[in-house]
Amino acid sequence: MRRQELVGYIGVDIGGQSTRVGTFDERGRLKVISFKTEPDFKTECERIAEAARQLLPKGIKRLAVGSPGPLDWRTRYLYDTPNLPWQNVSFAKLEKLVGCEVLLDNDANVAGLGEATLGAGKGKRFITGFTLGTGIGHFQVKDGRIYHGRLDVEAGHQILDPNGPECGCGQRGCLEAFVSATAIQKRYGVPPHELNDPKAWEEIAFRLAQGLVNAAVFVCPDAIILTGGMLARGEMLLGPLRKFYNEMLKIYPEKFRPPVLAAKLGDKAGVVGAIVLAKVGHAE
């Protein structure tokens, strides 16, 4: 898919801290408007609509939103998500504000779709991966389409240690409770971008490697892609992560071991993926 094919579509990436609204112009350049995610859902929708109209004043073909879950992509209904102050809200209401069809999907799925189509997974048939941010999201993309379970895939909440730290979902010992930015702040007293202790990053990488190995043995993808702000720490995280991952994953011969790849779209993966989703729609 070429970026020029995405002209006229709007993508929205909603995070725990900020929201990005974007589109591609005729030359394939990404244009983005960002603002702080609003605690009031009605206000958030109004700001999304305002940004979308500013980017495409002549009309929008379709708009897609990537949001933290759990959510129902079929009905565009968002449940009680741990990292946003919204409960039981519907993005279907956004259609009246933007004047076009609105799609909704899990933010991790959308970021994965962006990487699969225009990023690190381009040319690969089946990828899976994790978004490393305020929470830990998970995605699976096959043949250019997002895979959905009954609701949405939430491998960020796989339990690594039932006696581990409490997670925002109400369980203990989830992957998210060990390696998310929220968990790092809680355990080490500083956010990931200020954490400079190699031993701490080894501890984080060990737990993340557990999650990647579980993903690898369950679905054996062509690649596992990592995206999100935490990748800015580079080899401080990725070095020990690859070491632990390769030590743990013994079931596959090395040549068939799914490689762990860093995202190429950076913090734009979510908004790019949402634009792609607006273009291709859902598989079902």
Confidence grade of residue 80 (pLDDT, cut at 50, 70, 90):
confident
- Chain Cα centroid distance, residue 187: 23
- Nearest-CA neighbor of 6 among 118, 141, 143? 118
User: What is the rounded distance in angstroms from the CA atom of residue 22 to the CA atom of residue 45?
Assistant: 15
Question: What share of the chain in percent tops pLDDT 70?
Answer: 100
89-90 β-sheet, strand order: 71-72, 77-78, 89-90
Q: Return the pLDDT at 81.
A: 80
Which pLDDT score is estimated for 284?
60
- pLDDT digits over 144-194, tens only? 999 988 777 889 999 999 999 999 889 999 999 999 999 999 999 999 999
Q: What distance in Å separates the CA atoms of residue 199 and residue 168, rounded to the nearest whole number?
A: 25
Distance CA 187, CA 55 (A): 41
pLDDT at 156: 93
Q: What is the dihedral of CA 278, 231, 243, 258, to 10 degrees?
A: 10
Mean pLDDT for the chain overall: 94
Q: Give me the mean pLDDT over the 27-32 stretch.
A: 95
Confidence tier at 63 by pLDDT (50, 70, 90): very high
Range with the poorest average pLDDT among 49-53, 108-112, 214-218 = 108-112
More confident residue, 241 or 150: 241
pLDDT at 16 (0 to 100): 82
Average pLDDT over residues 224-228: 93
Question: In degrees to the nearest 10, what's the CA dihedral of 72, 131, 94, 103?
Answer: -60
Query: What pLDDT shows up at residue 134?
Result: 84
* Band (266; pLDDT cuts 50, 70, 90): confident
The confidence band for 110, taking pLDDT boundaries of 50, 70 and 90, is: very high
Whether the pLDDT of residue 141 is over 80: the answer is: yes
pLDDT for 83 equals: 74
